[in-house]
Chains A and B, each alone.
Chain A
């Protein structure tokens, strides 16, 4: 064998070994770990041998295979919109009667059609009022005007922006809540215009799930206890945290706090060490790459009493200040404003924690007493962040405040619960079906094409491994339709080899030598294979882009499979076959 062949086979062997290597975490998670621990990445990482790839590169089992809950929550944007329309109505009335003093005005809203009706006490003032309202409140458009009555409807673009925001708020709340439940492999994503899709693998109580995500978000403002700044440091010195919990002391604005990657370990450590009337709450430090995940958690020692809740908040918006720094403007209603004034007066210099569903979202320091019910939260030093990132933090905080204050209720659009026992049964049957299909094809190829058939079989097995490894690398989820897709892709991969072998046979029957027949067979079949794979890939990509849930799983398998099939049929079998006729100088070809 000369150098060229060594090199070519070397690449193929390296790819094959890499494929097997990437399947190690998958093998461990499915065959070595108990079912209860299957979804726990940390446990998997611990059990994996040192030479294996990281645990995250493993094939997940879809809900339909391992059981769990799939739910679609619908965000009631209509109620949220109605509330907003009403609020705008009150603002308009205040502006016209108090600021502009154009006359008495009354606002009513129609809950069904989301329109706003303004009625002036004195019809003569209505012309001036209409003009003022339409220019100042341009997020509303005029529907009709009858004497002293003006009907307005929210502007279309404003409405759709608001709807999107309501869904984002709901997603934030749902993520917070489920995170508290400790579900690994949680998947929360937007679906359509007003729905949120949630997958909870390994969970079995739909009622509990519904309750968890369905209730209104709870926003609170509580004072941070900074009277003893060294509290956490002392705690750490007194009783060291459990080993490998990775809890360390960090500092925020000079206040020491604990930070650690594991929520349960953090809570377990601080439990029973908190002074009376105080509570330790966590803040989630989001993974910059995957906003869905908490990279670690930080502690805050806060007062138990929550004097101010989201109910008192009437608006929150992110904007740039006069100094061109991002800030969040918040406004309280009358009662809230009084409470806020009292709190800020008593707590000047301290920090106030903004808490959504028991998670600290932000803890700005109070610089002075704030009266009048409206306050600014300045976003602090950017610290190496870009202006956009800096501003987007302000937007997130505004979103959090609104999520707690202005609930767009969510209702259950769809719940599917798949029992785990059923999942096991399906896995068994699905794999058996795949193996039988594969065995039939392998037997047929070997019988029909003899030598070339055996090469095709080897390529087919490699193809199967490549698909699984590919899915593992993309951290994809294997679903029931995915198994069907797997089998089908193997069928299509065999197609490619059939095309080539038939072509070689044809060339041989035209009297070509083995060398010529193999070369031309591969050359001529190449474009056919390429075209047929590309068209199937087009279908696969469109399926992926538009599909949801199990369809996506199917599409992923199809795409990975087609690419693997192109590689095995064009590179692998060609190298092996040409090696026999060129490298070993065979005069005949077994096809």
Chain B
């Protein structure tokens, strides 16, 4: 059995300009789209709270939303998951602690009414209020004061007598949004008719840290691979491989952009795998080009590349095909993140194969032509003569 005839002779290189134009347009459109619409960042990166609730009796998403609003939760999104008879919902909202700029102000006023309280300082990112009091205060009184201001309290800490000046230091830790969800939805009920199955809870700081590290990982990986290719092949092969990688990463990012699938840590893993795979594919063709350059010495590089691409067409399609085949199971049976990952990989494999033919090779030809032109002109340039 054979998929591709031994001797194809398709003029890939002749059509390279059209392909490069189209690719550039699509890539630009994706980058603009990312700038304008942004990704649908998951809690991993955006920060916030996600609570999964399973209700004991049938309830519609609209009813859940109404109960949340009645309980005082205003910007919460409610999404049903699983089949409708499972009565399971994901509730998402921004923020990790109940401490916001607004209620920190009210809490401050409320604390100051307790007596001679000074140095009130609310640390919003940690959900903490620090303050000093001239006399000792009962933790219950502090808790009540802050709760009156509308912020749930997880813990009141007595930090002991102040070291600078006189007085006693206290610290109030605000409770998380999940507690708020729980109390909002169980309002007016003897016992909650739902069960909290999962709480995902990522602070904005942690989210930012994760995102930056993910992006840095991508940059490091691309740079390391560039160095390896330049070292193993020739300098003029390096930029082509790099550009093909960038192209593929942007295309897969485009998948996340257009499909509105959640962009999270696993997505970064998918992008990094694409980087590895893309260069893998490019190298198979580069390898053949290098071999054919020795075989057909004297032929122009563009022609040699065309022969190499045609010769390796069978294996290029087969290798991409078998890898895609291994993803089929994940696409059929995978759920949630797994499916997203497999779909992103599939997009990556397809564009990876395309880019090694139409992006990596043309840039190599272009660099080669420029080098040749510069050499030809060199004697005319007095500075280099």
A interface vs B, CB < 8 Å?
72, 74, 76, 78-79, 82-83, 85-87, 89-90, 107-109, 111-112, 191-192, 195, 206, 210, 214-216, 311, 314, 407, 409, 411-419, 422, 426, 429-430, 432-441, 444-445, 447-448, 480-481, 483-485, 487-488, 490-492, 494-495, 498-499, 502-503, 505-506, 509, 524, 527-528, 531-532, 534-536, 538-540, 542-543, 545-551, 554-555, 558
Contacts and interface: CB of A to CB of B under 8 A. Distances in A.
Contacts of A85: 164
A527 B288 CA distance: 11
Nearest to A430: B338
B1 A480 contact: no
Interface string B136-161: 00000000000000000011010110
A237 to B, nearest CB: 46
Contacts of B205: 74, 413
B319 A415 contact: no
15 contacts: A72-B202, A407-B157, A429-B338, A433-B333, A440-B326, A484-B334, A487-B327, A491-B325, A491-B326, A494-B323, A498-B315, A498-B318, A498-B322, A524-B291, A528-B283
Given A83-B163, A487-B329, A539-B225, 7 more contacts: A89-B163, A214-B155, A414-B206, A488-B326, A535-B228, A542-B220, A550-B265
A535 B283 contact: yes
A42 to B, nearest CB: 30
A215 to B, nearest CB: 7
A532 B234 CA distance: 16
B219 to A, nearest CB: 9
Interface string B227-247: 011001000000000000000
B201 A539 contact: no
B197 A419 contact: yes
B90 interface: no
B225 A445 contact: no
Contacts of B221: 538-539, 542-543
B326 to A, nearest CB: 4
A401 B101 CA distance: 36
A216 B205 CA distance: 22
Interface string B242-284: 0000000000000000000000011011001101110111011
A538 B225 contact: yes
B165 interface: yes
Contact of B273 (A195, A480, A488): A488
A418 B198 contact: yes
A484 B338 contact: yes
A527 B291 CA distance: 11
Given A111-B121, A413-B205, A550-B266, A429 B217 contact: no
A406 to B, nearest CB: 10
Interface in B90-146: 96-97, 119, 121, 123, 126-128, 130
Interface stretch (B30-38, B60-68, B208-216): B208-216
Interface string B308-347: 0001001100110011111111101111011001100100
B29 interface: no
Contacts of B330: 433-434, 437, 484, 487
The residue in B6, B164, B206 that gathers the most chain A C-beta atoms within 10 A of its C-beta is B164
Closest 6 CB pairs of A and B: A436-B329, A539-B276, A437-B329, A491-B326, A86-B164, A491-B323
Contacts of B332: 433, 436
A577 to B, nearest CB: 17
A440 B171 contact: no
Contacts of B206: 72, 74, 192, 195, 413-414
A210 B178 CA distance: 13
Given A494-B323, A543-B217, A76 B162 contact: no
B362 interface: no
A440 B224 contact: no
A416 B163 contact: no
Given A414-B203, A543-B269, A548-B210, A111 B119 contact: yes
B166 to A, nearest CB: 11
Contacts of A554: 269
A484 B199 CA distance: 24
B176 A412 contact: yes
A527 B287 contact: yes
A550 B171 CA distance: 34
Interface of B: 1-3, 6, 96-97, 119, 121, 123, 126-128, 130, 154-155, 157, 159-160, 162-165, 169, 171, 173, 176, 178, 197-203, 205-206, 209-210, 213-214, 216-217, 220-221, 224-225, 228-229, 232, 265-266, 268-269, 272-273, 275-277, 279-281, 283-284, 287, 291, 311, 314-315, 318-319, 322-330, 332-335, 337-338, 341-342, 345
B323 A488 contact: yes
The residue in B201, B229, B279, B322 that gathers the most chain A C-beta atoms within 10 A of its C-beta is B322
B201 A90 contact: no
B338 A498 contact: no
Contacts of A484: 330, 334, 338, 341-342, 345
A498 to B, nearest CB: 5
A411 B173 contact: yes
A129 B176 CA distance: 47
A411 B127 contact: yes
Contact of B200 (A191, A415, A483): A415
The residue in A195, A413, A550 that gathers the most chain B C-beta atoms within 10 A of its C-beta is A413
A487 B346 CA distance: 13
A441 B329 CA distance: 10
Contact of B337 (A481, A505, A509): A481
Contacts of B279: 532, 535-536, 539
B269 A547 contact: yes
A294 B176 CA distance: 33
Contacts of A426: 335, 338
A434 B329 CA distance: 6
Nearest to A552: B269
Contacts of B342: 433, 484
A441 B326 contact: yes
The residue in B200, B311, B315, B341 that gathers the most chain A C-beta atoms within 10 A of its C-beta is B315
Nearest to A310: B160
Contacts of A210: 154
Contact of A539 (B162, B272, B283): B272
B42 to A, nearest CB: 12
A535 B328 contact: no
A558 to B, nearest CB: 7
Contacts of A407: 157, 159
Given A415-B199, A487-B326, A502-B318, A542 B272 contact: yes
A345 to B, nearest CB: 25
Contacts of A481: 266, 269, 337, 341
Contacts of B224: 538, 542
Given A86-B163, A546-B217, A531 B287 contact: yes
Contacts of A87: 163-164
The residue in B165, B276, B345 that gathers the most chain A C-beta atoms within 10 A of its C-beta is B276
Contact of A535 (B127, B171, B229, B325): B229
A210 B154 CA distance: 10
A369 B234 CA distance: 77
Contact of B128 (A76, A436, A439, A503): A76
A34 to B, nearest CB: 22
B276 A447 contact: no
A441 B320 CA distance: 12
B200 to A, nearest CB: 5
B233 to A, nearest CB: 8
